[in-house]
Structure formats: structure tokens, C-alpha cells
């Protein structure tokens, strides 16, 4: 399986014109990182799909086609962007809580805890009835049967996953639900007249998504990568956070490039009404809450299609929107653990403890697939009208990665440190300091991917649309405006 063949598969699933595939070229082959999975192929194909969809948006607006190049080395650097992030030449960011990781249970099974949010950590400690430290947690877990603890933590709404082999996962009811789904879904959900890609008056836009407005209601990696990808192709992306919701600072910085950032509390009627007003002027509504969570507050896809005919609603979830685990909380590493990926990586190395992929591949790939789906839906809206719903999940992406086959001895590939990829980084001044981060992986001959602004602190902007980047600068506090103009 080569990147081009993987891209052809995605392109055909989206029912896109096959002629465009001649515009994109790949360089490199797996293994680019130590893994038995074809992570580099996944990275190239998903980044390439989003880039090619952006090029198609630009071609529809201008009639001009362009060449796209994606190297596996660059793609994998982007798939590890949060690891390579540095602020003011400081140390590597701390991305994981000390309690997060693998633990052995009484019956010789392994379970993974995900405790990066304080309330998740405290919840785990409460269920276990132990002290809030790793040694105490490990001792408590050794008193539980693995499957029993997995159920108890899930029932408590916490984040954990029993380590399963691929065969054991295939026998799980949720695996059957995921297998019934395609890699992604793009569904028409309402009528609307055809309309342009963006709201700008200039059809010959110099960027593929110029004038398009995106509401980004997501945190951590997968959803934010989707919003970041739309921003690097010219969309105006307004990130909406709840003031009570936790975040991980390095991810806010890495995935906030090119976005504005505002606060709205959807528990408050006035803030919910403000979000509806923003949605009435949006082209894309991107959200990564659990299935049904926003619908309960009046923001289901069909609700927004009535408010804004022609909207593209993008849903990102962990385990998919069908099956008994649809409401289960999950993150990339947990899906790896539950679905057999961490088990397979361990078996290849011959170790004792499970082993994750060398990057958050499911997160990043799902983010690029979400952006790809959003742009395909915008193209369909421009040609045939309609409101659209795009659905992706980490589990669907993981199933696709597993279907690409294994690389014998792939785990022996050398690891790649920051010094190995410094030529693939870019710097920008920001309110956080000088940010060193992975540059966009795709090379586009007419519309190079770029970020129009540095990351903004959460809540730095007003919850409103702006007519231009200059207007956005005028709305910022002085300290933010100075950082933005230097970037």
C-alpha cells in the first residue's frame, strides 16, 4: 500500500473527480518512524487528501490547477507536531499527567488510564479508592480483574481502555458497529441553493478557502487539527471554548495557529443564542463533543441546517456514532489500546507492557480527514447546493490504519528527534513567546499553506466574525496585536 493508492481510496469514497489525482505527488516510504504500522502512508494520504481538496476549491473559484507535493518526512513531522513544539527555545512540552499509562491487573491483563484532565484523574482515584499517586494507583489496580475495572471506569464516565488483541476487539460489539461504517461519511441533511466556497465578493480568491467562516468547537488534537488545516488554507476560523472546560496549554498553542479564540458558555441562554447567531453566518461548524452532547443544547446538525441552510456540520468522535460505545469517552491512545494496535506493537517488539504508536496518528489523521470532508462538502454545496454533515471518528481511522497491513521489522526504524527535523519547523512571534512548530507538510504551487496569525490565548477575541485580518488585529488588545504583526 503506497500513499498514492491510499489517497485514491479516500478520493473514490468521497466521489471526487479522479483526474485531480494527477496533480499530487508523494515522496518517501514506510517505515518513517519505529512502528509495524504504515503510519507514514496514513499521514501522507490524509494530508494529501486535504491539500488536494483545497486545490479543488481553488480551481473551482479560479479555473487554475496546481501541483501538490507531500513528502513522508514532512508529513510525519506534522503528525508529531505537539512533540516538537518549543516556546522561546525552552524544554519539550509536558503533555501527559504522571498517572496516565499502562497498569497490570490481577488477572494478568493490562489497562490504560487517561488522566490528563484533573477531573478525570480524581475520578479514577475515587473509583479505585486509593491515594492520588502512581504507586497507590498501581497497587489498587492489581486488585481488580481487567474487564471488571474497564466496565467500572466506563460506567463512571472516565477515560480508560482494557488492552485487547485485534481478534478480541473484532469480537467486541463496538468493533462490529465501527466495521459497518466507512472511513468517513458525507451526508446531505437539508436543502439549500448552491453558494460559493466563501462569503467574500472576490471569486478569484488568492487562497482556497478565502472568505469561508469556520466555527471550531473542539479541544486537544483531532478536531483542532481539522480547524487548523482549514485555517492554513485561508478560512477564518473562530475557536469557541467554554470557560469551565479544561485544556492542555501546548496543544492550544500548536493547534491554535491561524485561529481567533473566544469564550461562550453554552449553559447560559445568552451565550447559546450568541453561538446561534455566529452559526447563522458560518460555512462550517466543527465540533468534537460526544455524539448527542450538542444536540441536547439545540445544536444538532439538523438544527443548524435550519438556522443556516447550506452549512457544513463536521462531527468528530472517539468510537463512532453507532454502537454501545458511542457515548464512551475516548482519546487516540485509548482507541489504540482498545482496538489491538497497542497489543500488536508490543507483540512485534516482544515486550511485556503494551506499546503505543510513535505518534498520535489516529488524532492527526482524523483531523485531516475531517478537514478533507468539510472541503468536499463545500465543493458539493457550491455545485449542487444542500446542507451537509461530515462524520469521522478515531476508531474508524484506526480500523483503516489496521487494514493497510503490517511492516515486518518496522519497529526497528530509528526514532526522529527535534534536531532531525529542525529544517521542517517554522517560528512565529506570539503572545506565548516565540513559537517553534512544524510547518504545513504540503507544498502547493499556487496557494502555499500558511497561517495568517499566531495562536491566541483562550478567550482573547470577541465572539464575532471579522471582515478581514486587519479588522481582527484592530479588535485585539495591544499585546496581542504586537505579537501578531511580528509573525
The predicted pLDDT at position 201 comes to 52
Give the pLDDT mean for 151-163. 97
Query: What pLDDT does 14 receive?
Result: 96
- Torsion 110-111-113-114 (CA) sign: positive
b/e map of 47-76 (b: 16 or more CB within 10 Å)? bbbbbbbbbbbbbbbbeebbebbbbbbbbb
Nearest to 394 by CA among 270, 278, 291, 474: 291
Residue 204 has pLDDT above 60, yes or no: no
The dihedral sign for the CA sequence 211, 216, 222, 225: positive
H or E element in which residue 185 lies: strand 185-190
Please check whether residue 476 is in contact with residue 484, taking contact to mean a CB–CB distance below 8 angstroms: yes
- Please state, in angstroms and as integers, the Cα–Cα distance from residue 42 to each residue in 249, 362, 363, 365, following that order: 27, 9, 11, 7
pLDDT at 477: 59
Total number of residues shown for the chain = 487
Q: Which burial class, exposed, middle or buried, applies to 144 when counting CB atoms under 10 A from its CB (0-12, 13-18, 19+)?
A: buried
Q: Does some domain include residue 345?
A: no
pLDDT over 60 at 282, yes or no: yes
Tell me the average pLDDT across 351-366. 97
In a domain, 265, yes or no: yes
The crossing angle, in degrees rounded to 10, of helices 341-349 and 394-403 is: 40
Mean of pLDDT values over 407-433: 97
For residue 437, what are the contacts with CB-CB under 8 A and spacing of at least 6? 81, 84, 85, 86, 253, 254, 257, 425, 426, 427, 428
Structure confidence at residue 267 (pLDDT): 96
Q: Where is average pLDDT lowest: 201-215, 222-236, 352-366? A: 201-215
Tell me whether residue 404 is in a domain: yes
CB 474 within 8 A of CB 468: no
Asked if the model's pLDDT at residue 181 lies above 70, the reply is yes
What integer pLDDT is reported at residue 485 of this predicted model? Answer: 55
Q: Can you give the pLDDT at residue 198?
A: 85
For 47, the domain range is 3-92+179-320+359-486
Contact between 432 and 457 (Cβ < 8 Å): yes
pLDDT of residue 313: 98
Q: Considering the domain boundaries, does residue 188 fall inside one? A: yes
pLDDT in tens, 324-349: 999 999 999 999 999 999 999 999 99
Q: How confident is the model at residue 206 (pLDDT cuts 50, 70, 90)?
A: confident
pLDDT for 176 beyond 90? yes
What's the CA gap between 388 and 376, in Å, rounded? 10
Q: Please compute the mean of the pLDDT values over residues 278-289 and round it to a whole number.
A: 98
Residue 475: the pLDDT is: 59
DSSP state of 281: T
Whether 226 is in a domain gets the answer yes
pLDDT for the residue numbered 481: 60
Domain-embedded: residue 271: yes
CATH number, residue 410: 3.40.50.10540
Q: What is the mean pLDDT of the chain?
A: 95
pLDDT of 359 strictly over 80: yes
Place of cell 473562530: 238
Over range 180-198, report the average pLDDT: 96
Q: Report if residue 174 sits inside a domain.
A: no
| Confidence tier at 379 by pLDDT (50, 70, 90) | very high
Q: How many domains does the chain have?
A: 1
Q: 411 and 349 in contact (C-beta within 8 Å)?
A: yes
Residue 412: how many other CB atoms lie within 10 Å: 12
So what's the pLDDT on residue 351? 87
pLDDT exceeds 60 at position 483: no
Kindly state the average pLDDT of the residues 235-248.
97
Residue 202 has pLDDT above 80, yes or no: no
pLDDT band of residue 80 (cuts 50, 70, 90) is very high
Is the pLDDT at 259 greater than 80? The verdict is: yes
| Count of CB atoms situated within 10 Å of the CB of 270 | 8
pLDDT at position 435 over 60: yes
Q: Is 457 helix (H, G, I), strand (E, B) or coil?
A: coil
* Sheet hosting strand 425-430, strand order edge to edge: 86-87, 433-438, 425-430
Cα dihedral sign, 51-399-313-253: negative
- pTM comes to 0.96
Tell whether 141 is covered by a domain.
Answer: no
8 A C-beta contact, residue 97 and residue 434:
no
Task: Tell me what the mean pLDDT of segment 413-419 comes to.
Answer: 98
pLDDT tens digits for range 31-72 = 999 999 999 999 999 999 999 999 999 999 999 999 999 999
pLDDT score, position 467: 84
CB 215 within 8 A of CB 262: no
Mean pLDDT (whole number) for 68-78: 98
Amino acid at each position: 500500500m503506497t500513499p498514492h493508492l491510499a489517497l485514491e481510496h479516500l478520493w473514490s469514497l468521497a466521489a471526487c473527480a479522479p483526474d485531480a489525482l494527477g496533480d499530487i505527488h508523494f515522496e518517501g516510504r514506510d517505515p518513517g518512524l519505529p512502528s509495524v504500522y504504515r503510519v507514514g502512508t496514513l499521514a501522507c494520504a490524509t494530508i494529501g487528501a486535504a491539500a488536494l481538496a483545497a486545490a479543488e476549491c481553488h480551481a473551482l473559484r479560479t479555473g487554475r490547477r496546481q501541483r501538490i507535493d507531500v513528502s513522508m518526512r514532512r508529513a510525519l513531522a506534522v503528525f508529531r507536531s505537539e512533540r516538537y513544539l518549543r516556546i522561546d527555545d525552552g524544554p519539550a512540552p509536558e503533555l501527559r499527567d504522571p498517572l496516565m499509562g499502562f497498569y497490570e491487573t490481577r488477572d494478568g491483563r493490562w489497562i490504560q488510564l487517561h488522566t490528563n484532565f484533573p477531573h478525570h484523574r480524581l475520578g479514577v482515584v475515587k473509583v479505585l479508592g486509593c491515594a492520588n499517586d502512581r504507586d497507590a494507583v498501581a497497587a489498587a489496580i492489581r486488585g481488580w480483574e481487567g474487564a471488571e475495572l474497564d466496565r467500572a471506569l466506563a460506567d463512571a464516565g472516565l477515560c480508560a481502555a482494557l488492552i485487547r488483541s485485534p481478534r478480541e476487539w473484532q469480537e467486541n460489539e463496538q468493533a462490529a458497529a465501527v466495521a459497518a461504517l466507512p472511513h468517513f461519511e458525507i451526508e446531505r441533511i437539508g436543502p439549500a441553493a448552491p453558494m460559493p466556497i466563501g462569503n467574500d465578493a472576490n471569486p478569484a480568491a488568492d487562497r482556497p478557502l478565502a472568505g469561508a467562516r469556520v466555527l471550531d468547537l473542539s479541544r486537544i488534537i483531532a478536531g483542532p487539527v481539522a480547524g487548523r488545516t482549514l485555517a492554513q488554507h485561508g478560512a477564518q476560523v473562530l475557536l469557541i471554548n467554554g470557560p469551565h472546560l479544561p485544556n492542555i496549554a501546548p496543544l492550544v498553542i500548536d493547534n491554535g495557529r491561524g485561529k481567533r479564540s473566544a469564550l461562550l458558555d453554552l449553559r447560559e441562554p445568552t451565550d447559546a443564542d450568541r453561538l446561534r447567531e455566529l452559526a447563522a453566518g458560518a460555512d462550517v461548524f466543527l465540533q468534537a463533543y460526544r455524539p448527542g452532547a450538542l444536540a441536547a443544547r439545540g445544536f444538532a446538525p439538523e438544527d443548524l441546517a435550519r438556522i443556516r441552510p447550506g452549512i457544513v456540520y463536521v462531527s468528530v468522535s472517539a468510537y463512532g456514532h453507532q454502537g454501545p460505545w458511542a457515548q464512551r469517552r475516548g482519546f487516540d491512545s485509548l482507541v489504540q489500546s482498545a482496538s489491538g494496535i497497542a497489543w500488536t506493537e508490543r507483540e512485534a517488539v516482544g515486550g511485556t507492557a503494551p506499546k503505543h504508536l510513535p505518534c498520535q496518528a489516529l488524532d492527526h489523521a482524523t483531523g485531516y480527514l475531517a478537514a478533507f470532508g468539510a472541503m468536499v462538502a463545500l465543493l458539493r454545496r457550491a455545485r449542487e447546493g444542500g446542507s451537509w454533515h461530515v462524520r469521522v471518528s478515531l476508531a474508524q481511522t484506526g480500523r483503516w490504519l489496521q487494514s493497510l497491513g503490517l511492516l515486518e521489522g518496522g519497529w526497528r526504524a530509528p526514532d526522529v528527534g527535534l534536531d532531525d527535523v529542525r529544517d521542517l519547523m517554522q517560528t512565529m512571534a506570539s503572545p506565548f513567546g516565540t513559537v517553534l512548530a512544524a510547518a504545513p507538510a504540503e507544498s502547493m504551487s499556487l496557494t502555499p499553506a500558511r497561517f495568517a496569525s499566531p495562536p491566541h490565548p483562550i478567550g482573547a477575541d470577541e465572539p464575532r466574525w471579522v471582515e478581514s485580518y486587519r479588522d481582527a488585529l484592530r479588535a485585539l488588545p495591544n499585546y496581542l496585536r504586537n505579537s501578531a504583526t511580528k509573525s
